[in-house]
Structure 1
Amino acid sequence: MKQLLELWPVLLFFLTYQWSDIYSATAVLMAAVTVHSAVLWWHKRQLTPMQWMTLLLVLVFGGATLLLQDPRFIQWKPTLLNWLMAAAFAGSHFVGEKPLIRHLLDSQISLPQPLWRRLSLAWILFFLFSGLLNLFVAYNFDEATWVSFKLFGLLGLTLLFVVLQSIWLARHLPDETTAADPQKQPPAEA
Structure 2
Amino acid sequence: MLLCRYIPLLAAVVKQFIDFIPLILFFIVYKLEPRAVELAGQSFTLGGIFSATAVLIAASVVVYGTLLVLQRKLEKGQWLTLVACLLFGGLTLAFHSETFLKWKAPVVNWLFALAFAASHFIGDKPLIQRAMGHAIGLPPHIWTRLNLAWVVFFLICGFANLFVAFTFPSIWVDFKVFGSLGMTVLFLVGQGVFLARHAHDVDPKPTAETKE
Q: Give the alignment's TM-score, normalised by structure 2.
A: 0.79
Specify the SS of the correspondent of 1:95.
coil
The DSSP-based 3-state class of the residue aligned with 2:91 is helix
Note if contact 1:27-1:62 (Cα within 8 Å) is conserved in structure 2. yes
**Which residue type is aligned with residue 112 of structure 1?**
P
Pick aligned residue for 2:124 from 70, 88, 97: 97
SS of residue in 2 equivalent to 1:7 = helix
Q: CA deviation at 1:5?
A: 2.6
Cα RMSD (Å) = 1.6
Structure 1 unmatched runs, 5+? 180-190
CA distance in 2, matches of 1:154, 1:118: 22
Q: Give the aligned residue type for 1:7.
A: F
Structure 2 distance, partners of 1:119, 1:73, is: 32
Confirm or deny that 1:71 pairs with 2:98: yes
Measure how far apart 1:123 and its partner are.
0.7
Contact 1:37–1:51 (Cα < 8 Å) also in 2: yes
Q: How many residues align?
A: 176
Q: State yes or no: 1:173 paired with 2:186.
A: no
Match of 1:163 among 162, 183, 189: 189
Higher RCO, 1 vs 2 (CA within 8 Å, ≥6 residues apart): 2
> Which of 112, 132, 141 is the matching residue for 2:168?
141
The answer to whether 1:46 aligns with 2:73 is yes
Distance change >3 Å, CA 23–CA 166, structure 1 → 2: same
More strand by percentage: 2
1:85 matched residue in structure 2: 112
- In structure 2, the partner of 1:12 is 25
**Residue deviations 1:113-138, cap 9 Å, x none?**
11111111111011011000000100
CA contact (8 A) 1:110 1:173 kept: no
Q: TM-score w.r.t. structure 1 length?
A: 0.87
Instruction: Work out which of the two has the higher radius of gyration on C-alpha atoms and give 1 or 2.
Output: 1
Structure 1, residues 156-185: CA drift from partner, whole Å, max 9, x if none? 011101111211221112179xx9xxxxxx
The answer for unaligned runs of 5 or more in structure 2 is 1-13, 33-46, 205-212
Shift of 1:3: 2.8
Structure (1/2) with the larger helix percentage: 1
Letter in 2 for 1:165: Q
Contact 1:9 1:32 in 2 (8 A): yes
- 1:99 deviation in Å? 0.3
